[in-house]
């Protein structure tokens, strides 16, 4: 049996942002495993088995993928964006570490993708052009107190910041709290970008300041970027361009 297992990133949405090596591996797979909307993005074909599951079942999904590859199938686990950024690659390695010894014989590879923060940054200009950090604002897998501490320290270090999973229906208050911490730490004039559904037909990029920002400007399809103290806006008829200079001197 020589199955293999690839964890692949499908990028932020546009087909043109799927890398050629990911397209190639999707064409060779016997089985695709992933969260329902991501599996839907894989072209169907004769003989390809699609295993679409709910978002919360990451470890079950990873275990299933390992079992199939160990049994000789060619399996691709799909994530949006990059699979190593708040996504399936770490879940897979957790399952591998806790799982059967023989799974360590499986040929496993991770193929990168265009992460939402890179697509969002490009859509707005170059707000991540100098040092930056990225933080997942969901407290499903970590305590809210840790998120608050990281926001404070990132603001203190004057990083630009990219925020994933800013606000969901089940956690409406967290993002409002995050905005008020940032407003307090960075001041009202700091630039904030709400980049929604980047690279899809519904793309919307809004550039504003912390004073004007409202929690409702973000949802689960939004990547939020807060600039550093040096981040600037160039106004143009075609819309603003945001950038952070590469030098602080």
- Distinct helix (H) and strand (E) counts, the chain: 7, 13
By CB under 6 A, the residues from 112 to 171 that bind ligand SAH are 115-116, 120, 164-166
Instruction: Compare residues 86 and 132 and give the one whose CB is closer to ligand SAH.
Output: 86
CB-based contacts of 213, cutoff 8 Å, min separation 6: 179, 183, 192, 194
Rounded to the nearest whole angstrom, what is the least distance from the CB of residue 88 to ligand SAH in the complex?
8
Quick check: 220 binds ligand SAH (CB under 6 A)?
Answer: yes
Quick check: 197 binds ligand SAH (CB under 6 A)?
Answer: yes
Rounded to the nearest whole angstrom, what is the least distance from the CB of residue 113 to ligand SAH in the complex?
7
- Contact mark string toward ligand SAH, 34..73, x via CB under 6 A: ----------------------------------------
Q: Cα 4 vs. chain centroid, distance in angstroms?
A: 25
Give the total of residues touching ligand SAH (CB under 6 A).
24
Please name every residue paired with 6 in a beta bridge, in sequence order, or none if there are none. 76, 109
Q: Which helix (H) or strand (E) holds 215?
A: none
* Tokens encoding 53: 């599951």
Residue labelled with tokens 């074909």: 45
Quick check: 226 binds ligand SAH (CB under 6 A)?
Answer: no
Binding piece for ligand SAH, criterion CB under 6 A, among 15-23, 34-42, 189-197, 240-248 = 189-197
Instruction: Compare residues 70 and 198 and give the one whose CB is closer to ligand SAH.
Output: 198
Rounded to the nearest whole angstrom, what is the least distance from the CB of residue 174 to ligand SAH in the complex?
12
Range 66-70 contact pairs with CB under 8 angstroms and sequence separation of 24 or more: 66/5, 66/92, 66/95, 66/96, 66/99, 66/100, 66/103, 66/106, 68/3, 68/31, 68/33, 69/3, 69/4, 69/5, 69/106, 69/107, 69/108, 70/1, 70/3, 70/100, 70/102, 70/103, 70/105, 70/106
Closest residue by Cα to residue 66 from 26, 112, 25, 107: 107
Rounded to the nearest whole angstrom, what is the least distance from the CB of residue 116 to ligand SAH in the complex?
3
Instruction: Compare residues 103 and 164 and give the one whose CB is closer to ligand SAH.
Output: 164
By CB under 6 A, the residues from 88 to 117 that bind ligand SAH are 115-116
Q: Which residue of the chain is nearest ligand SAH when measured via CB?
A: 81
* Residues binding ligand SAH (CB under 6 A): 12-13, 79-82, 85-87, 115-116, 120, 164-166, 195-199, 220-223
């Amino acid at each position: 049996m020589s199955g293999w297992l690839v964890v692949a990133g499908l990028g932020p949405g546009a087909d043109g942002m799927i890398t050629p090596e990911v397209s190639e591996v999707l064409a060779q797979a016997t089985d695709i495993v992933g969260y329902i909307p991501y599996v839907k993005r894989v072209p169907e074909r004769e003989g390809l088995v699609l295993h679409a599951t709910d978002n919360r079942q990451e470890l079950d999904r990873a275990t299933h993928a390992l079992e199939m590859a160990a049994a000789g199938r060619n399996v691709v686990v799909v994530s949006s964006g990059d699979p190593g950024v708040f996504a399936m690659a770490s879940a897979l390695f957790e399952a591998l570490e806790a799982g059967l010894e023989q799974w360590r014989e499986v040929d496993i590879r991770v193929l990168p993708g265009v992460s939402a923060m890179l697509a969002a940054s490009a859509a707005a200009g170059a707000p991540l052009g100098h040092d930056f950090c990225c933080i997942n604002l969901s407290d499903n897998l970590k305590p809210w107190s840790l998120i608050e501490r990281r926001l404070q320290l990132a603001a203190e270090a004057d990083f630009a910041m990219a925020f994933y999973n800013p606000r969901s229906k089940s956690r409406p208050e967290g993002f409002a709290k995050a905005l008020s911490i940032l407003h307090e730490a960075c001041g009202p004039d700091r630039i904030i970008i709400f980049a929604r559904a980047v690279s899809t037909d519904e793309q919307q990029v809004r550039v504003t300041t912390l004073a004007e920002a409202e929690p409702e400007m973000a949802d689960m399809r939004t990547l939020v970027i807060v600039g550093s103290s040096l981040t600037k806006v160039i106004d143009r008829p075609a819309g603003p361009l945001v950038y952070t200079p590469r030098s602080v001197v």
